[in-house]
Each structure stands twice: as C-alpha cells, then as structure tokens.
Amino acid sequence: MSNDLSTDATRASASGRSDVGRVPPPPPRRRNLADAWAGFKRFLRTEPLGAVSLVLITLIVLVAVLAPLVAPYDPLLQNRTRITEGPSSDFWLGTDDLGRDVLSRLIYGARSSMIIGVVTTAASLVLGTVFGVVSGFLGRRKDLVIQRVMDSIQSVPPLVLLLFMAVVLTPSIQGTIIALVIVITPSFNRVARAETLRIREEPYIEAARATGAGALRIMGRHVLPNMAAPLLTMSSLLFAGVIIAESALSFLGIGTPPPTPSWGLMLSEGVRYVEMAPWMVIAPGIVLSLAVFAFNLLGDALRDFLDPRLHR
C-alpha cells in the first residue's frame, strides 16, 4: 500500500499537481455584525452616489411611516369650495379636482407604494430563491419541472400578464401584490439557480458533503449565504420596477382602488386637468421619478461595490 501511495505522489508531482494529501479549502468565513457595519461604512465611503440614494430612500420611507404625523390634512378630506386651487400657504402643492390636498395625498401615496414594493419584493425574493436553489442544487426532475413553469410565465409579455392577473384578481392592493409576485418571481429564480449551479461546484461544498452534511444543511449554511450579493442587488433594481408597475396599474384603474392615495392614481386623475391644474400631474410625477431613480441608483452602486471583478 505504501508503494501505491508513493507511486501516486510521484505521478502527481510529475504532472505538476499536488492534489495528494491536500485538504480542501474551508468555506468563506461567516460575517458578524461588526463586519457588516464596517462594510456599510466602506460602501458609503467608496460609493457616494449610493450614499445619496440611501438618503433619498430613507427620506421616502420615513415620510411613509410617519404619514399621519407629517401630512398636513386628511388625504381623503374634500373641500368643494377650493377645487383645483394652486399652491399656496394653505396648500403647498395645491388641491385636486375634489378639493383634496395634493401634498397629503403624495405622502400617503408613498405609504401605499412602499408597502406594495416591500411585500412584493420580499415575497418574490423568497419564492424565487427557494425554487432556484432547489432547482439548481437537486437538479433532474425538480429542475425540469420548476424551470418549465418559470419559462411559461416569462414567455408571456410582463405587461399583458400583469393586466390579465390584475383584472382576474379585481382592483385591490392584495390583487396588485399577487400579480406582481407572479411576474417577478421568475427573475429571482433565474439568478438563484445560476448562482447555485456555480456554488455547488466549489471545493467547500465537496468538503461539506465529505463530512456527511445533508442537502438541506448545505443549501442553508453554504449556498444561500454565498448568493446574497447578487440577490441584494437585484432586489433593489426590481423594487424600482415594482413601483413603476404598481403606478402603471393604478394609472389604468386596475391597481390600487380609489380613493386610496397612490402616485399612479394621482397621475391618472390629474391627466384630465393637466391644462387647468398642472400641479396635479407634476407633483406625483416628480416624486415617482425620484423614488425610481433612488432605487436604480442604489442597485447600480451595490453591483459595483459587491462585484469584485469591477474593483480596480
């Protein structure tokens, strides 16, 4: 037996390899809160545009959470004596066709958009990641079935599928969330599956298998933590897409139902009075554009920060 081992070692050295007796490298070190905080500070220092986007997003979230304290008026309160009144000291952004304060409706509209965006993105992230990891790690029939379902969803144009689902589920916040989750989940699934196929070939996965770790343990302790970066970047980018999609559905009258404040609904109501009261369109349009810009900017900054291939 010793002769066999020496022969293997001789062959390995002759071929330029030293695989005999080599221990596979350990998995990446787990990060704690101190590492996360240090990484966050480094992100703010190296990505100034990302820092600006975080300020804008934080402001929008705070306004949404503190809407009852920040809004000067009830967003549903109608003042028929002050219909389509321009900006003034009483109404900073004017009133709409029913005498409602535009600023108050913008603030409460941020709450609707943030709730739909957070719930939709979180649900799509969880579903898409679970399906992608199971499909990529276990493969075979599970991979075939899951991917054919995802392909069938993505084969339909997103806008057509959104309109169909929104009509079937009736206009409501819950129906809008379900329709958006169905459309967005395949995108997360693609990324999660691709990352799983890459990670499962790493040496530390082989080492985990050699120690007797099961599939669930490997997926939970090694696969999921190591795909967090691309999923985080994609979440930020898709969050902006969710806001646009929700506004589009509300603009068409099949999203957030009136009189619930929504930026898309405000745009839809203001189009009819664009010549008489342009502030009804300008205000929600600017806020919607800023929100989408902030999340897209954050996604780009996260991509540059988390992708080592882009570091110079």
What whole-number distance in Å separates Cα of residue 121 and Cα of residue 127? 10
pTM higher than 0.95, yes or no? no
> What are the tens digits of pLDDT across the range 246-299?
998 888 888 888 888 999 999 988 998 988 999 999 999 999 999 999 999 999
> What are the tens digits of pLDDT across the range 159-190?
888 888 877 887 888 888 999 999 999 999 99
Decide if 94 contacts 82 (C-beta within 8 A).
no
21-27-30 Cα angle (round to 5): 150
Instruction: Map out the domains of the chain as residue ranges.
Output: 47-73+104-310
What whole-number distance in Å separates Cα of residue 53 and Cα of residue 34? 23
User: 119 pLDDT band (50/70/90 cuts)?
Assistant: very high
Decide if 215 contacts 138 (C-beta within 8 A).
yes
Task: Name the H helices within 155-262.
Answer: 158-168, 173-199, 203-210, 215-218, 228-251
Give the pair of three-digit tokens for residue 205. Answer: 């996965």
What is the homologous superfamily of the domain 47-73+104-310 according to CATH? MetI-like (1.10.3720.10)
pLDDT for position 257: 87
> What are the tens digits of pLDDT across the range 32-82?
677 778 888 888 888 898 899 999 999 999 999 999 999 999 999 998 889
Residue 243 has pLDDT above 70, yes or no: yes
pLDDT for position 11: 43
Provide CB contacts within 8 A for 195, sequence distance 6+.
Answer: 132, 136, 223, 226, 227, 230, 231
pLDDT for position 14: 42
